[in-house]
Structures are given as structure tokens and as C-alpha cells.
């Protein structure tokens, strides 16, 4: 109660806390604060329970009759927020993923915070990254370059540069108009919080994000050159 009396006597400029604060208001603020804390705690616990039900990739492989994956393929579904690992045309396991902040549009330009749509490949694998692991894809690809050239966004020379990089360098470079540096990566330092959210939160620059544990799992079967279909 002494704290409450001191709080009431607090004055900021011409305003005095006692004019706006009483015991009922303080009680309601405390109840609301505890309710918010309990709600978020419950959300995290629910997310943990969902993750505990996750079947390991090795077990999913055996259930589908595979002891190893020799021809991996990744299919990303932006509408269902999933990334599927396939052996040829057989789905082995789906993972929950997040996308760029502008999830309602298809990536076309730099800084649009959208995820691209098309057929790509993993062109570079980084095992040490601020987001745990990072599998870069070759965006922009030839189709992205062709669309941009047709719309007059880039010159013929810029298109030729993209074409050369696509065929001879593997990874296409970041383009000032079309953007780049898109890939599949983990969450990084905030992994424990984000992986246990029972809902999808799209937060990336256009890349595809999944938990650190899940990207470690798919790292065991993918390689540079693995096809990535984003639809």
C-alpha cells in the first residue's frame, strides 16, 4: 500500500497521478498484465506440444520405404506454409515454414519483402550463418530475368549478365532492381521462441524460414543442385 500511496503522489509536470489513478484501476492493470502473461505462456506450451508430435525425418523415410534419399527435391507451398522433402515424386515429410512479410504477393523486385515463385535450385550451402544454416537459391533465375526484360525493368545487358551467372556461376548475384540473396534458412538466436509459436509469423526478407532443428534435418539429405519448386 505504501507503494500505491507513493505512486498516487507522483507528479509529472502539471499532471498528478492521483487525478487518474485509484485502487480499482491499479487492480485491473495488474489483472490484465497477469492475463497477458498467462496467455503467452499457454501459447508457447501449446507450440511445444505440437513440436513434440513431430516425426523425425529418418522415421518418416522408413515409413515410406526408404533407408536413404538419393534424389531429393523440395516443394514449397506458400498457401499452406509448408516445405516438403521428396524422393523423386514421393513426399517424405512436410515442415512448417515462414515466408517474406509481403506474403500476399510474388517477389518481383528488391525490397518488396516477398517470396519468389518458380523453379530454382540450391546453389550454395552455408553451414554457419546468423540464421543457423542458409541454403541459397538461384533467384533471380532466367524466367525472372525474362519477365523483367519484357516489362522493361532491366536492359538486355543486365539480362545477359543474369543468364551468364545462371549457367556458369551457379548462384545469380543480387540485382539492384530484382533483388536476390534469397534462400532457405533457420531462425537463429530466437529459435526457441519462434519455433514454438502454434501459428505462422512471416518475418523474412523473402526467404523461407524454418526452425534450426528442422533445417539441420533437411541438411542431412539435400545438396547443392537440389531442385526447389516454390508455388
Per-residue pLDDT tens, the chain, 231 aa: give them: 455 455 445 555 555 555 555 556 556 656 567 656 665 555 555 445 555 568 899 999 999 999 999 999 999 999 999 999 999 999 999 999 999 999 999 999 999 999 999 999 999 999 999 999 999 999 999 999 999 999 999 999 999 999 999 999 999 999 999 999 999 999 999 898 888 887 788 999 999 999 999 999 999 999 999 999 999
From CA 11, how far away is CA 165, in angstroms rounded? 65
From CA 134, how far away is CA 127, in angstroms rounded? 7
217: cell is 534435418
From CA 167, how far away is CA 58, in angstroms rounded? 34
Amino acid at each position: 500500500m505504501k507503494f500505491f500511496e507513493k505512486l498516487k503522489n507522483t507528479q509529472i509536470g502539471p499532471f498528478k497521478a492521483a487525478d487518474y489513478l485509484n485502487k480499482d484501476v491499479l487492480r485491473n492493470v495488474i489483472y490484465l498484465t497477469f492475463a497477458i502473461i498467462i496467455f503467452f505462456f499457454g501459447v508457447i506450451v501449446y507450440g511445444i506440444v505440437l513440436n513434440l508430435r513431430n516425426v523425425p525425418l529418418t522415421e518418416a523415410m522408413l515409413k515410406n520405404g526408404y533407408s536413404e534419399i538419393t534424389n531429393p527435391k523440395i516443394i514449397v507451398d506458400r498457401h499452406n506454409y509448408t516445405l516438403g522433402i521428396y524422393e523423386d515424386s514421393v513426399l517424405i515429410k512436410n515442415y512448417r515454414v515462414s515466408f517474406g512479410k509481403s506474403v500476399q504477393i510474388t517477389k518481383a523486385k528488391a525490397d518488396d519483402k516477398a517470396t519468389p515463385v518458380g523453379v530454382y535450385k540450391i546453389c550454395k550451402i552455408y553451414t554457419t550463418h546468423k540464421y543457423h544454416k542458409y541454403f541459397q537459391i538461384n533467384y533471380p533465375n532466367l524466367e525472372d530475368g525474362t519477365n523483367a526484360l519484357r516489362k522493361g525493368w532491366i536492359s538486355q545487358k543486365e539480362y545477359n549478365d543474369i543468364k551468364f551467372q545462371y549457367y556458369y556461376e551457379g548462384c545469380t548475384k543480387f540485382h539492384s532492381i530484382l533483388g536476390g540473396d534469397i534462400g532457405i534458412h533457420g531462425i537463429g538466436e530466437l529459435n526457441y521462441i519462434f519455433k514454438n509459436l502454434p501459428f505462422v509469423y512471416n518475418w523474412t526478407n523473402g526467404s523461407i524460414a524454418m526452425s534450426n532443428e528442422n533445417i539441420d534435418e533437411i541438411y542431412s539429405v539435400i545438396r547443392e543442385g537440389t531442385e526447389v519448386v516454390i508455388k
